[in-house]
């Protein structure tokens, strides 16, 4: 079971987690709930996000689910407003939602490239912009009362955005973009006692890194995902730990950045890759 502290470091805190329906996002949401946070869950897939909510409820945690498409211009604001309406606060934001849509650059369409930017950097930008008024006004009130309340933003990036992976012009660009947004927001929101950091994943065992042949449905598009068996074996052999990570292991660094343990850490990118960069 995942958790930051069995005593509940995050009791009384509210978290918003996107892409919380499965894999790493689900592990993050469950971990936050186990640490005492109330969690607003978002995912494009309605069924799986409610499954995550049920898991949290059955374990004694508190969660609400709001399925929907983050790439719709008005949805991020609705999501933030729903979190505030449902829980009365917004202390942790984890911009985790994403997927891969790969191809070499000469075969990458404008639609494909833009889709990667939309989900990996435009949607997180809109979520943070939507939360900005509440975060700033709340921090000012707390400061007027001589209180310092630390809040957290964790953006998800990738080794593709840091070191590049062939065939991922769009994905790598989006994941590099979110690093830039992280660095900027750390400087803008430091005055409001917000830590803004990023976690960059290597190869984690999810449906996106499964053996080639899988398929996901995004807005009616059937997108092939997965990695060729030979490439998977090469990557595994080259990894210093000799294996891919689990979603629970991937959630660990995110939970660190959500916890009081990271109150004096901001503007950083922490790699969770088992020591591999490619």
**Residue ranges of E strands in 96-183:** 151-158
- Least Cα distance to 123 among 103, 98, 92 occurs for 98
Cα–Cα–Cα angle for 109, 111, 113, rounded to 5 degrees: 70
Active site residue 171: yes
Contact 245, 19 (CB under 8 A): no
**Rounded Cα distance, 208 and 145, in Å:** 47
Q: Which tokens in the block code for residue 275? A: 């020591």
Q: Which tokens in the block code for residue 146? A: 């001589």
Q: What is the DSSP letter of 271?
A: E
Contact 135, 151 (CB under 8 A): yes
Half-sphere exposure of 236 (CA within 13 A, CB side): 15
- Least Cα distance to 122 among 175, 78, 43 occurs for 175
Q: Is 205 helix (H, G, I), strand (E, B) or coil?
A: coil
Residues labelled catalytic: 171
């Amino acid at each position: 079971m995942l958790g930051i502290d069995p005593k509940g470091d995050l009791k009384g805190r509210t978290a918003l987690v996107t892409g919380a329906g499965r894999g790493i996002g689900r592990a993050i949401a469950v971990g936050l709930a186990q640490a005492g946070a109330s969690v607003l869950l978002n995912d494009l897939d309605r069924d799986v996000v409610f499954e995550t909510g049920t898991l949290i409820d059955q374990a004694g945690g508190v969660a609400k689910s709001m399925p929907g498409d983050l790439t719709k211009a008005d949805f991020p604001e609705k999501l933030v407003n729903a979190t505030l309406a449902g829980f009365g606060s917004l202390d942790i934001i984890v911009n985790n939602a994403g997927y891969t849509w790969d191809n070499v650059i000469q075969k990458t369409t404008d639609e494909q490239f833009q889709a990667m930017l939309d989900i990996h950097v435009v949607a997180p930008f809109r979520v943070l912009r939507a939360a900005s008024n509440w975060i700033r006004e709340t921090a000012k009130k707390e400061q007027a009362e001589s209180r310092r309340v630390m809040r957290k933003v964790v953006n998800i990036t990738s080794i593709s955005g840091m070191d590049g992976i062939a065939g991922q012009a769009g994905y790598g660009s989006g994941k590099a973009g979110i690093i830039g947004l992280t660095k900027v927001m750390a400087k803008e929101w430091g005055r409001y006692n917000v830590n803004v950091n990023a976690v960059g994943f290597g190869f984690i065992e999810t449906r996106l890194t499964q053996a080639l042949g899988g398929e996901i449905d995004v807005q009616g598009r059937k997108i092939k995902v997965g990695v060729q068996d030979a490439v998977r074996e090469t990557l595994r052999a080259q990894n210093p730990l000799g294996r891919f990570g689990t979603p629970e292991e991937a959630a660990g660094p995110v939970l660190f950045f959500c916890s009081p343990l990271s109150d004096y850490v901001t503007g950083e990118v922490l790699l969770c890759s088992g020591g591999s960069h490619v």
